[in-house]
Amino acid sequence: MKKEDVPQDHAKAFQGRKKALYALDEKGRYAIVPSSGWEAEEIVLDQAIEEYERAAADAFARAKAGTTGPLEYYMCRCRMDVLLLAQSTGFFRWQVRRHLRPGAFAKLSTEKRQRYGEALGMDPAQLDSLPPSP
């Protein structure tokens, strides 16, 4: 992509900020060019956010019913999946999936709960219960 072809569609997700993209300058070399986003990127981002919000609402309902633990709701609310949460905590994916069950999570040590709390940016004590509403 050439420097003058870098989209400037002022995506609302950027909130007036810009991000750096690489594009070819007049001399044919790659240069960093600021972009305020483009329409296709904004559409896909909005769809991804809606999907995470739907997943969080589903996880909240399942946690209320007792079929999963609050950890799954908080994971979805932070726009994470099992793989990302596993990478953030240092646990294996199978361990994270196991810890999503209420009984398994209740047996976790303080250190393991602390790792989840750090990855999710919250106090580990909050992981034991759901908020009043999603």
Domain count, the chain: 2
| Residue 125 pLDDT | 93
| Residues 12, 55 within the same domain | no
Segment 30-51, tens digit of pLDDT: 999 999 888 888 899 899 989 9
| Residues 52, 87 within the same domain | yes
Task: Identify whether 115 is part of a domain.
Answer: yes
Q: What is the pTM of this model?
A: 0.78
Output the 3-class SS for 57-112.
HHHHHHHHHCCCCHHHHHHHHCCCCHHHHHHHHCCCHHHHHHHCCHHHHHCCCHHH
| Residue 16 pLDDT | 84
Q: Inform me whether the pLDDT recorded for 105 exceeds 80.
A: yes
| Residues 23, 55 within the same domain | no
Q: Inform me whether the pLDDT recorded for 76 exceeds 80.
A: yes
